[in-house]
Amino acid sequence: MTFEVTILGSSSAIPTAERYLTAQVLRALERYFLIDCGEGTQIRLRQMKFSFERIRNIFISHLHGDHFYGLPGFISTRNMMGIKSDLHIWSHSDLKQLLDPLLDHLKEDLGFRLVFHPLNFKKPDQIYSDEKLEVWSFPLSHRISCCGFLFREKPVLPNLIREQINYYQIPVSQLRAIKEGADYVNENGRVIPYSQLVYPPVKPRSYAFCTDTIPLDSVAEFVRDVDLLYHEATFLAKDEAVASQTFHTTAPQAARLALQANVDKLILGHFSTRYRRPDPFLEEAQEIFPNTALAIDGARFSIPLQKIACQS
């Protein structure tokens, strides 16, 4: 099943002619999560042909306008479309107070519930879980309270090799234990290794989103070994002093964090408009972490399924 990130916007602070403000859609196991919602997000959603109805969970990293000013328009359009499903929003607790005046005109006619969930900005916190997926928030360090988000598949038990089960006449009562990693011992004491009875299990996939922060060792540890890491890179190396003053990250700093965290792939975004082209960000990062890509608006990044070798 699909595990794919789509970049809706990649600019910081203000939009440009080529780049909208921060917003992404994660399509994970047929769940659609909107991550941040900068101005113009609903336009990008339409351009990329995403269903507004299928987006039922929104994660807002922090309350700087370039990360949430698109929410009122998205909510209004969703309502005018006649969508009835609840909309859950994870954010700083102040967001509801900020949105209330804008939503007052809709309240009598709003056809769905808005459910606000306050984030914890002091420690990592599991904020969403269903039978297949979990989402964690974790603190970043910016000028105001800010969180990153980690999306992770839950482990899935491997499938049995039916021909082998039938060949060894293994009783149904033993099948669950085998799927969980047990060898089978028949009535004569012969051991049939687990690895001969199941197909290789699938490695759980993961995606981490880190925006508006200085680089943190704690973040590198928390997102260790993720398949795909998005990390802001607002500035180039020559402007590291500005990055420090504004609590942002440079491209080389993001690359070093990805290397430290042993991630598989790094995506850079949240580019300052002081730079005409994003190419230098990629050049600086790839000198340190070669498997780096740019979060260009409209880009999609898929995490493929990978089999894990059975150990027995």
Reply yes or no on whether the pLDDT at 209 is more than 90: yes
Q: What is the pLDDT of residue 227?
A: 98
Please tell me whether residues 212 and 242 are part of one structural domain: yes
Q: Which of 228, 189, 227, 235 is nearest to 306 (CA)?
A: 227
Is residue 94 among the annotated active site residues? no
Q: Are residues 54 and 128 in the same domain?
A: yes
**What is the rounded average pLDDT of the residues 162-187?**
87
Neighbours of 83 (CB within 10 A): 18
DSSP structure class, residue 241: H
pLDDT (0 to 100) of residue 217: 98
Mean pLDDT of the chain: 94
- Give the span between the Cα atoms of 82 and 54, in whole angstroms: 13
Please count the other Cβ atoms lying within 10 Å of the Cβ belonging to residue 66: 23
Residue 268's Cβ-side half-sphere holds a number of Cα atoms within 13 Å equal to 32
Grade residue 309 by pLDDT with cuts at 50, 70 and 90: low
Residues 126, 170 within the same domain: no
Residues 41 and 189 in one domain: no
- Stronger pLDDT, 168 or 43, i.e. the higher one: 43
Q: Are residues 136 and 20 in the same domain?
A: yes
Q: Locate 177 and state its tokens.
A: 């234990």
Look at residues 240, 228, 229, 230 and name the one whose alpha carbon lies nearest to residue 272: 240
Domain count, the chain: 2
Residue 44 has pLDDT above 90, yes or no: yes
CA distance 299 to 8: 8
The answer to the question of residue 260 being in a domain is yes
Average pLDDT over residues 201-207: 92
The CA distance from 297 to 58, in Å, is 19
The dihedral region occupied by 254, where left means phi > 0, alpha psi between -120 and 50, and beta the remainder, is: alpha
- Can you list the pairs that 116-119 forms with residues at least 24 positions away whose Cβ atoms lie under 8 Å? 116/89, 116/91, 117/88, 117/89, 117/90, 117/91, 118/91, 118/92, 118/93, 119/90, 119/91, 119/92, 119/93, 119/145, 119/147
Residues 127 and 168 in one domain: no
User: Where is average pLDDT lowest: 36-40, 68-72, 216-220, 307-311?
Assistant: 307-311
Residues 135, 244 within the same domain: yes
Residue 31 belongs to domain with CATH number: 3.60.15.10
Beta partners for residue 25, in sequence order? 6, 34
Question: Would strands 184-185 and 265-269 be described as parallel, antiparallel, or unpaired?
Answer: unpaired
Q: Strand order of the sheet with strand 300-302? A: 114-118, 87-91, 55-59, 31-37, 23-28, 3-9, 300-302
- Residues 255-271 have a mean pLDDT of 98
The mean pLDDT value for 190-211 works out to: 90
Least confident among 56-60, 110-114, 119-123, 256-260:
110-114
**Same-domain check for residues 248 and 285:** yes
Query: What value does the mean pLDDT take over residues 206-228?
Result: 98
Q: Is residue 310 part of a domain?
A: no
Which residue out of 66, 212, 227, 297 is catalytically annotated? 66
| Domain that residue 171 falls in | 162-196
Question: For 87-106, what is the mean pLDDT?
Answer: 90
Q: Which tens digit of pLDDT belongs to each residue from 105-157?
A: 766 678 899 999 999 999 999 999 999 999 999 999 999 999 999 999 998 88
Whether the per-residue pLDDT at 192 is higher than 70: the answer is yes
In this prediction, residue 107 carries a pLDDT of: 62
Q: What is the pLDDT confidence band of residue 195, given thresholds at 50, 70 and 90?
A: confident
